[in-house]
Structure 1
């Protein structure tokens, strides 16, 4: 039986369960040190497997579509940060300062990879371009996100250290394993492709570990005493506003610039989404341990909201008649082909 559109998926339920466990049974002392070490290993393994999974052929297939990729990158790393800062008079009264820091961090993150591609495919968009665009966003985010955080969150508690020091830590923990996976793809790529369940287990398991460790530290610091229930409701409203504005802007810009329908779909899904898989490990590196829980809470809520909304959009667009223009021949401009 199919799951209703607006019910949380199993992973979201697991995230909620992890937060509850961390709230009731937070790790402390030697257990916290052990969990932190295990989490670092799991994150490195996660990015290693992602590197081994990513097909270079798929990247090259969409790499020439530079106008689409440029618009997605502008949406991800320019539009969102501008929205986070410009809407501050509206957003900040609804949440606590710590949660607003998390909103700004959310705005600096790269796009998702798996879900952007999945929704683009479901909606009959330009899948090769989505693979390339989402992957490029994820890799560039390793360098761009820490720099943006240092600019946008410098007056808030939690972000510390030189941005170059942060970039160095992220390169060692995320990029080096990813590159190693890419280099070893000829040897292990087929095995990874055959055992996708392993990648899914490591993917979700590493995120759950980070969330548990982060919220354990946050609970030990009294996070639930500093965030009122009204602020959590305000956070949901803030995430809905951010996603709605991002969807409207990307849709308007893609149509106004003359992109084909398939490319418009790709731009909307890749340019309006934020990566939980990249965001939580980055937060662990960028922010002080006691502040990570509050920082990632906006991202966790945004993740579920974007999945529900984009699933509905993808199903609706995918059910429409496919337009006559071939996706693989799209250059990103021009009207639909005549019948």
Structure 2
């Protein structure tokens, strides 16, 4: 009898409720005039319903599910909205940070390697004893080979005069700036010797091509200069170091040994990577789909090198005065500006001499590619050279450290240059529309 009365009362109260309509206002709290244990709903009766975002409003079924829970949360999904708000704020804060990390992954990897080596040198010293630096260098050039497109090399044939000058600037002309760098007196002398050796290196493996693509330059020409300068650099760099650095510093550079080491550590992995790419279409497609991931792996491998070098030389690095190191970094920045100015003046002069507006040097795409690629120097080859010299030019950590700073600074400086070119293009396009 009591159960029948309770059911009748419940039916009367339910009949008085207005039909559920979509509303943005929070639903009013409802109470039953009977015990919550009187009526029980089967678990199979409540079916979760997923609506599209357009219909993401409170529904009777969802309110009924909350009623079964005992109405401990009055007025709808207050906690849920609070959680959504916190999640949205976290997402808003995290996305710019992740974008910044992805955009600046290489500089962050290099700086992290240096910081880890300074904080705790033991793991880095152990990694060096296990010859991890050799494997990391080989891995960098293997990734470069497996990411290399053959068709892009053929597209650079049309602009071969600009590419020929770029190669000459990278491997034959700019190495002579090392003589000027060696005139600077700084203690410890390895800081200056490292910058001088950096002048003799080929161009960067990835950043020059990436910046050229970003500014709308001739990326095929940039890629051709990058590949050829690194291949020819294996032949030329040992002799440049011997004549320009070794003679000036009174040091004998083991040219033959260095040449063999560079071939085994740079050329062989590059060729193997390229052969694997060309022999398997599925591998090439996979690499193209994940180019960003492979670039990050290459950056991590590059970051391992200064980590090991700094770990080995930590005690010596701590003896360098901050002011002295700041001077060395400033000299590196000045050196990059000098290379940019030299290549800019040289390319524009060649444009005037070889036919003006009709010359390949006068084309904006070729000019920008040559200026960017010919003004940058690569860090992995320098690290491989320093590793193989086994202290012939001085303490390895002190030689590499200013070059790591210069490698980062040249990317930052050229990024500003690219942005300036892009803004100028936008202004020019707007003026033509008017």
Aligned equivalent of 2:404, options 300, 313, 325? 300
Any idea what the Cα deviations from partners look like across 1:197-226, whole Å, max 9, x if unmatched?
442233112112211211122125x2322x
Aligned to 2:368: 265
Question: Structure 1 residues 83 and 267, CA, compared in 2 at 3 Å: closer, same or farther?
Answer: same
Q: For the Cα contact (< 8 Å) 2:143–2:270, is it kept in 1?
A: yes
- What is aligned with 1:190? 285
2:23 counterpart residue number: none
Which of 289, 300, 303 matches 1:205? 300
1:73 matched to 2:167? The reply is yes
Matched, 1:17 2:121: no
In the TM superposition, residue 277 of structure 1 has moved relative to its aligned partner by: 3.5
Distance 1:158 1:297, change over 3 A: farther
Residues 37-64 of structure 1: CA deviation (Å, up to 9, x unaligned) = 3332232222122111111111111134
- Check whether the contact 2:254–2:389 (CA below 8 A) recurs between aligned residues: no
SS at match of 2:313: helix
Query: Is the counterpart of residue 45 in structure 1 residue 139 in structure 2?
Result: yes
Does the alignment pair 1:232 with 2:325?
Answer: yes
Distance of 1:144 and 1:174 partners within structure 2: 14
Matched, 1:124 2:216: yes
**1:12 to 1:149, Cα distance in 2 relative to 1, 3 A:** same
CA spacing shift, 1:83–1:37, aligned 2, 3 Å: closer
- Aligned-pair RMSD on alpha carbons? 2.9
Q: Equivalents in 2 of 1:29, 1:244: separation in Å?
A: 33
What are the residue-to-residue correspondences of 1:1-339 with 2, within 5 Å? 1=96, 9-27=104-122, 31-32=126-127, 36-89=130-183, 92-94=184-186, 96-155=188-247, 162-186=254-278, 187=280, 188-219=283-314, 222-225=316-319, 227-258=320-351, 259-260=361-362, 261-288=364-391, 291-321=395-425
Which structure is larger by alpha-carbon Rg, 1 or 2? Answer: 2
**Do 1:158 and 1:291's aligned partners in 2 also have CA atoms closer than 8 Å?**
no
**Cα offset, 1:323, TM superposition:** 12
Report the TM-score when normalising by structure 2: 0.66
- Contact 2:218–2:366 (CA under 8 A) maintained in structure 1: yes
Contact 1:210 1:280 in 2 (8 A): yes
Query: Secondary structure in 2 aligned to 1:111?
Result: coil
Deviations 1:51-103 (CA, angstroms, capped at 9, x unpaired): 111111111111343221221122212332222213543xx135531111101
Is this contact kept in 1: 2:203–2:375, CA < 8 A? yes
CA distance in 2, matches of 1:175, 1:159: 26
Change (3 A) 1:192 1:285: farther
How many Å apart are 1:253 and its aligned residue?
0.9
- Once structures 1 and 2 are overlaid, which stretch shifts more, 171-180 or 95-104? 95-104
User: 1:317: how far off?
Assistant: 1.0
Where structure 2 has 5 or more consecutive residues not aligned to the other structure, the ranges are 1-95, 352-360, 429-434
Higher relative contact order (CA 8 A, sep 6+): 1
For 1:98 and 1:218, the matched residues in 2 are separated by 12
Q: What is the count of residue pairs matched by the alignment? A: 317
Q: CA deviation at 1:29?
A: 10
Could you list the structure 1 runs, at least 4 aligned residues long, displaced by more than 4 angstroms after superposition.
1-5, 155-161
C-alpha separation between the residues in 1 aligned to 2:241 and 2:349? 31
State which drifts further: 186-195 or 280-289: 280-289
8 A Cα contact 2:143 2:294, kept in partner: yes
Structure 1: state its 5+ residue gaps. 325-339
Structure 1 residue 24: Cα displacement: 2.8
